[in-house]
Amino acid sequence: MATSPLPIHHHHPASGPDRRALQARAVLLARVGLAWHVAEAAIALVAGIVASSVALIGFGADSLVEVVAGVVLLWRFGTAHPAAERRAQQLIAASFLVIAAYVGAEAVHGLVDGHRPDVSVVGIVLSAFTVVTMPLLARAKHANARRLHSSATASEARQTTICGYLSGALLVGLVANAAAGWWWADPACALVIAAACVHEARGAWRGEACCTGGCP
């Protein structure tokens, strides 16, 4: 589930009109992702509660982090404060840690208690749709982040990438539970989500996506 830092040091930062165009594109992509993740979070959380699926609830919670990341990124491009970039990364990192703690605890509790979640057709359809669409959105965000030389933009792009990976893990867990009755696949998938959140939190907090020579 690990994602490597973007090789943005190979590109020269844009300036003037080009930079403004890239910032506008970053804002547009963030808004598109924001709209989807709001719907995704609502569907996943409701479906997870109905099916008592900690993996679905965790996925919905991760989608809420994506919402936070999108809002933070929009805030970052709406302010010229010199500390905005670093604060944006720290807020994203903190939101990941909160979700990791909650999902991890619920997953361990589910494994210990042997809780068997119900089959969730809604969850399967949602994760199947997300595993196809998120990589496309992530690719556009990564390309823009490399040209813009913004670590906050790169961090938010990585979150979209990992959302695609996690939707694949979620799909496997939900299908395994539905087709084979492997109830443990659900909390196991939730642990994967929690571990991925911790990894991304560490990367964002350390500023791994920051370009060489400083970021805007």
pLDDT digits (tens, 9 = 90+) for 47-90: 999 999 999 998 998 888 778 777 777 776 676 565 766 777 78
> So where are the chain's domains?
15-206
Top pLDDT among 92 and 115 is at 115
Architecture of the structural domain at 15-206 = Up-down Bundle (1.20)
Residue 75: both structure tokens together = 């805030």
DSSP per residue, 152-208: HHHHHHHHHHHHHHHHHHHHHHHHHHHHH--TTHHHHHHHHHHHHHHHHHHHHHHTT
Q: At 179, is the pLDDT very low, low, confident or very high (cuts 50, 70, 90)?
A: very high
Model confidence pTM above 0.85: no
